[in-house]
């Protein structure tokens, strides 16, 4: 059943197109994991995260500065090349300036039935102001979705949407819990396929597969023997080939902090009488992106917890080239890691990554960590 996640990841466009034909429903492409998928599921809309292909492209130069991060340029290229033509709507929750420009360019040159910019607060630490603001924004968003689909979204619909997304979060967290043991039953590559495919497929279908794996496939399963336990932290990263590389030379990714990993699904909506307030509270309280993790870096405490709970020996810091939020974040993060005695390796990613040079650096990093264990 693990292969199903790989299939969903690699055939994401065919999946969404087939889902539309089968259900007659609408598909919403989104650029940021602060988008409240609960509301879209309540309206029977399929949310699909817009991702890149990790292939060279030459179509975005007239639209985006070359100094913008490769992820946002890769995402725009997918639209310009027609790979997301099946989308009925596109949206973003206020994020970094680079991916916002991707959204604006897409909205202008590739408009859909619904183009929606959700004003997600940046200063989530000021919860007293951010929470009522975001709740009000959700009211406006629901009105736009209702007009788009031609149906009223009821409290019962919202309850259903919340439970669909919460169930997937619970199951994914159970998968991550299995990685705490000395010989994990799930590899970093498999977890990446799981998390990213959950952003592409209908969550009820995805949850059924995860539940089946938890019940039937993990007992007695091991994927690594004496591998160095690593955590991956940083920018958006769904680069499967890089994780395969790390795990082919003696490492295993047992924890992560990025928006195609734990940061996406950690923390559920706590149901309440005011459904929109409950949803807003989850997105305000979730593990924050660096664009929103200020003036205090709350995320660092979460990273420390992962390092302790998952027995992490070293951290690989992954930065998309020109990613300003993470570039500003990393000096303080490296200082924190030094303070707790955890070594780190920083790598800068582009649309494609230099696997040969990266292999040498990763191998050297692993040898350093193994040397620490000897003493």
Instruction: Output the pLDDT for position 37.
Output: 98
The tokens for 78 are 């997918």
- Beta 251-257 vs 27-30: how paired, if at all? unpaired
Instruction: Output the pLDDT for position 66.
Output: 87
Alpha helices, H only, the chain:
2-10, 12-23, 37-42, 70-80, 97-109, 127-149, 155-177, 188-198, 203-216, 240-248, 262-265, 275-285, 299-309, 324-339, 355-374
Q: pTM of the predicted model, to two decimals? A: 0.96
What is the CA angle 329-322-267, rounded to 5? 45
Instruction: Output the pLDDT for position 296.
Output: 85
Q: Which domain holds residue 145?
A: 23-159
Q: How many independent structural domains does the chain possess?
A: 1
Tell whether 77 is covered by a domain.
yes
Tell whether 316 is covered by a domain.
no
Spatial distance between the Cα atoms of 276 and 237, rounded to a whole number of angstroms: 30
User: Do residues 134 and 284 make contact, with C-beta atoms less than 8 angstroms apart?
Assistant: yes
Separation of CA 209 from chain center: 19
Tell whether 367 is covered by a domain.
no
Query: What are the φ/ψ torsions at residue 228 (nearest 5 degrees)?
Result: -80, 130
pLDDT block averages, 10 residues each, the chain of length 375: 95 97 97 97 98 93 91 95 97 95 96 97 95 98 98 98 98 97 96 97 98 95 92 92 96 96 96 97 95 90 97 96 91 96 95 92 96 66
How many other C-beta atoms lie within 10 A of the C-beta of residue 325?
Answer: 21
Spatial distance between the Cα atoms of 230 and 247, rounded to a whole number of angstroms: 10
Largest CA distance in the chain: 66
Spatial distance between the Cα atoms of 278 and 273, rounded to a whole number of angstroms: 8
Q: What's the CATH code of the domain at 74?
A: 3.40.50.11890
* Cα-Cα-Cα-Cα dihedral sign, residues 243, 57, 67, 111: negative
Helix (H) or strand (E) holding 90: strand 89-93
């Amino acid at each position: 059943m693990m292969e199903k996640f790989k299939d969903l990841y690699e055939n994401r466009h065919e999946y969404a197109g087939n889902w539309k034909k089968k259900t007659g429903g609408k598909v919403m492409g989104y650029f940021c994991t602060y988008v409240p998928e609960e509301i879209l599921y309540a309206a029977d809309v399929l949310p699909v995260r817009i991702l890149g292909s990790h292939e060279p492209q030459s179509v975005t130069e007239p639209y985006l500065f070359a100094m913008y991060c490769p992820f946002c340029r890769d995402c725009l290229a997918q639209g310009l090349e027609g790979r997301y033509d099946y989308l009925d709507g596109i949206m973003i929750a206020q994020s970094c300036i680079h991916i916002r420009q991707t959204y604006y360019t897409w909205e202008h040159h590739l408009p859909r039935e619904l183009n929606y910019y959700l004003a997600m607060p940046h200063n989530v630490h000021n919860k007293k102001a951010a929470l009522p603001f975001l709740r009000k924004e959700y009211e406006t968003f629901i009105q736009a979705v209702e007009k788009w689909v031609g149906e009223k979204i009821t409290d019962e619909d919202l309850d259903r949407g919340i439970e669909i997304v919460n169930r997937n979060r619970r199951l994914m967290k159970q998968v991550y819990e299995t990685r705490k043991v000395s010989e994990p039953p799930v590899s970093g590559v498999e977890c990446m396929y799981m998390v990213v495919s959950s952003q592409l497929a209908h969550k009820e279908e995805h949850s059924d597969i995860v539940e089946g794996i938890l019940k039937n496939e993990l007992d007695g399963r091991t994927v690594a023997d004496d591998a160095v336990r690593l955590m991956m932290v940083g920018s958006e990263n769904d680069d499967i080939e890089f994780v395969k590389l790390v795990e082919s030379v003696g490492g295993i990714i047992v924890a992560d902090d990025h928006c195609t990993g734990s940061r996406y699904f950690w923390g559920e909506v706590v149901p309440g009488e005011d459904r929109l307030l409950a949803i807003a509270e989850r997105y305000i309280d979730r593990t924050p992106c660096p664009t929103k993790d200020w003036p205090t870096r709350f995320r660092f405490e979460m990273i420390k917890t992962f390092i302790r709970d998952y027995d992490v020996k070293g951290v690989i810091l992954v930065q998309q080239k020109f990613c300003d939020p993470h570039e500003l974040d990393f000096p303080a993060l490296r200082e924190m890691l030094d303070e707790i005695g955890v070594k780190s390796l920083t790598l800068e990613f582009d649309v494609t990554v230099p696997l040969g040079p990266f292999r040498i650096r990763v191998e050297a990093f692993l040898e350093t960590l193994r040397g620490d264990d000897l003493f």
